[in-house]
Amino acid sequence: MGAHATSPRAAHAAAVVAGERGLLAVALPYIDAGLRAGDVVALSCPPDVVAVLCGELGERAGRVRDEPRLSLVGARAPDAIGHTDRLVRELPEGVRLRVLSLVDSGPGPADWREGLRFESAVNRFVVGTPVEALCVYDRTRLPAPVVAAAAVTHPALVHDGAWAPSPAYRDPADYLPQLPWPRDPLQDTAPVLALDDVPSLRALRSRVGRALAELVPDPDQRADLHLAAAEVAANAFRHGARPVSVRIWTGGQRLVCAITDAGHSFADPMAGFRPAHGSDLGRGGMGLWLARKLWDSVDLLPGPDGLTVRLGTRLQPA
């Protein structure tokens, strides 16, 4: 991100509200302050919320950008971070990007955990940048565990328009490795593919490719899932330790793939939100980045048998 003026207060805050009235009470003053300050103001909210906000803003709505890709509302984590980087590079010197996001947790626990991981990691990426984000948590839309975690993943809380430090906030380096890693229910069913001590990356790629050809109806999604799983497997062979194993489970509408190697070094919890070597993709280091881009959830699970990368996703129709 470029060198610009930064906000003197915490760059990432959360506000907990209940329903549309609470949302408007928080969002409209925040947007108005940004417009008066000359900030680039962006909404990263579901379409129905954008419509409500723009209706309240009236003529001022034309000065606000609709940018769902700045959060998990419209993108997966690496793409949201990458899109933020692009917008920051386009900012004039001294101008800030002010983001209002209505948090959308997704339908299940794996989605909630991915959202918590993203909200925590963002704190590292906005340091020293001209980005300020206010994330609104609506109790009427979100499960209670997601709402409760807002104070842990945001260094500031907003109440009655006042920004204050969150006493419960935890740094990503501390919080991310200790997120709960519940067993996916699909893992309690019989795997559709189970390979132990796979002799080579080529053999693993081939067997996983054949399994996905039978399980994933959409050809584009099938290719994406295979690419990312193969890159994770390449990490296991190159940076982990033999034996390498793989398991795939499916419940018809969801797919889980777990790749385990016998290494016991735990990956950086921030790995995969950006390419390991920046924009130079030719240097490799894309395994977890591609996994986070192409699968719905990515869990790094250290255990007695080594390190497991568990990938999960919903299946798209053909």
Which domains are delineated in the chain? 12-177 (3.40.50.300), 181-314 (3.30.565.10)
Asked whether residue 164 carries a pLDDT value surpassing 50, the answer given is yes
Both structure tokens of 123: 């704190």
Quick one: what percent of the chain has pLDDT higher than 70?
93
Please tell me the predicted confidence (pLDDT) of residue 12: 96
Mean pLDDT of 54-77: 96
Q: Which amino acid is at 180?
A: P
- Model confidence at 285, pLDDT cuts 50, 70, 90, reads low
Angle subtended by helix axes 219-239 and 287-294, to nearest 10: 150
- Model confidence at 200, pLDDT cuts 50, 70, 90, reads very high
Cα–Cα distance for residue pair 191/194, rounded to 1 Å: 6
Strand order in the sheet with 156-159: 64-66, 40-44, 97-102, 131-138, 12-17, 156-159, 162-165
Cα–Cα distance for residue pair 22/190, rounded to 1 Å: 46
Asked whether residue 153 carries a pLDDT value surpassing 90, the answer given is yes
Asked if the bond preceding 155 is cis, omega within 30° of 0, the reply is no
- The lowest-confidence range among 66-80, 142-156, 295-309 is 295-309
> Considering the entire predicted model, what is its pTM?
0.89
